[in-house]
Chain A
């Protein structure tokens, strides 16, 4: 798999490019937010083998982060309904800038870069109407807010950029209002969708799954090769049901929903917390902290197996396979269904492990 890091290393070797790169940041392979042993929150840069590369304090609980494609810079997002995003220089471990959601907006916790890294896109809630928005920020203009576009749905949670800068948005479908915290306001009528957007706001394509599964919140995304989009669900319907928690999609095709065998599907407890795709091994993994499980499927849709680990949630693809993090501080390597502990830190890793 060509990681940004690998790509960059090639580029640096080929041209002796003088610009500051991810190598100058100690080459972190992953970013992850955590609650530290003393109760404070921080963002960590981690090596491929789980060692700390840097620690940057966060003002409140974090959720996910997005790494700039070339510069050693990351944007860490508050957990919803937070209003801060922090631009962090991963070389110095310094806070470059704090972004505040505009009045009447809050962040959902994910974002992505487009335009060769010049435009940051942030998933947001227009609080008054509950309509999803992608906020657009210009990096070259000091992360000035330069506009926003509608996501074509409610509760856009995750957003990813395809190689042609089309944005893929997971409109989770759940309306929340900061006045009522994280309370879900529209479970009976929610209708999540997957939307492909141009940065001008044009909706190129929008797909929903089966109406019987309208309470399956489409929340997290991972990109495969050749336009493959994988997405993970969180079930808000009857807890006695065990719906699919993973879907695959390609533009112009129908959604393909994937399930494990019945007993494993039940054991996931209707909840996938994170998703990652391993291009080299052509597989995708979803985690369930509630079920204490990681499920792996091939890009062909075949269930490949399960790894059990309490409170596991963050997952990312590394050179050697998947790496997962958990709420007990563990960092684990998952290769061919075998678990190998890489590190155990005295902290609780938060929902996501972001591969750089």
Chain B
């Protein structure tokens, strides 16, 4: 009886840990599997017909799958520059375009060797290289059998290779690294609390990225909006990416805390509703004051989700945004 009471008091006194198993099982692993399958299908489609119009549907499916996991910046995707090799954005200096132009002008034979493309600059790999190759009018009119065709086949094969390795490493090791936090030999996470902190940080950092980068880059300043900086604007995915990111983050937030964080989820729903109403797929509207105001309103909505998540999810899990990373000095 007394022991039960002590246990009860202890459990009340210390904040809950994140439901790591639920996040791994229902969120992370299905997301990795979808991205791995989507990129594999894209690479296979490129082998069958490399032309831009033929590949666009498979490209969008793969990109949609990426948006389900792009907020998970831990584990295998952080090894060996993989994250940037999948998603080289933002790209203020236009390195993707420059590198692709150089490869095409020189007809660099790197595209012909199996796995050779992994040696190319991360700026010309992954989804954003494909956004140029499949949608930019300077790049997308290539024909089957051309150098650009081989280039697209190399980029898609490399991307599928990356996604497959990341999924395999989650299954063979990193999921277990999260589960075995605090056990001897685990030098990545010294306690279960560190995993809770890490998962929570993925949520808050990704919301910051959605607001500050995915929306903030094209918004620029009021005097100087930068619509050409919108993410994946050539394929017109900019707003879609924000929506899919919010949907993925909403799912993770609902799994992280028990009971479900009602205010945080309501803030997600408000943002998603406003994103749906925003009829501006590539944020071209930021050039007009009214258009910019609408994007800015969505940005405020997303910042409000982050505030709610810190107060509600963070408090229930006993974690906050990083002590040093949020500080700056």
Contact = CB atoms under 8 A, between A and B. Distances in A.
Contacts of B322: 289-290, 310-311, 327
B324 A350 contact: yes
A310 B190 CA distance: 11
Contacts of A109: 329
Contacts of A263: 80-85, 122
Given A239-B213, A308-B78, A262 B323 contact: no
Contacts of A339: 187
Interface in A60-91: 63, 79-80
Interface stretch (B43-51, B89-97, B269-277, B294-302): B89-97
Contacts of B232: none
A263 B83 CA distance: 8
Contact of A289 (B122, B194, B324): B324
A351 B325 CA distance: 9
Interface stretch (A189-197, A198-206, A244-252, A266-274): A266-274
B324 to A, nearest CB: 4
Name which of B78, B84, B322, B325 has the most chain A CB atoms within 10 A of its CB: B325
B247 interface: no
B81 A240 contact: no
A313 B93 CA distance: 29
B204 interface: no
Nearest to B79: A308
B177 interface: no
Interface string B193-209: 11001100100000000
Contacts of A241: 92-93
A330 interface: yes
Contacts of B194: 310, 328, 330
A348 B326 CA distance: 13
Interface in A283-319: 289-290, 292, 308, 310-313
A327 B121 contact: no
A240 B325 contact: no
Interface string A18-60: 0000000000000000010000000000000000000000000
A126 B80 CA distance: 45
A238 interface: yes
B84 A262 contact: yes
Interface of A: 35, 63, 79-80, 109, 157, 234, 238-241, 261-264, 266-267, 271, 273, 289-290, 292, 308, 310-313, 326-328, 330, 339-341, 344, 348-351
Interface of B: 78, 80-85, 90-93, 95, 121-123, 187, 190-191, 193-194, 197-198, 201, 212-213, 216-217, 229, 322-325, 327-329
9 contacts: A240-B92, A240-B229, A289-B322, A311-B323, A311-B324, A327-B322, A327-B323, A328-B323, A339-B187
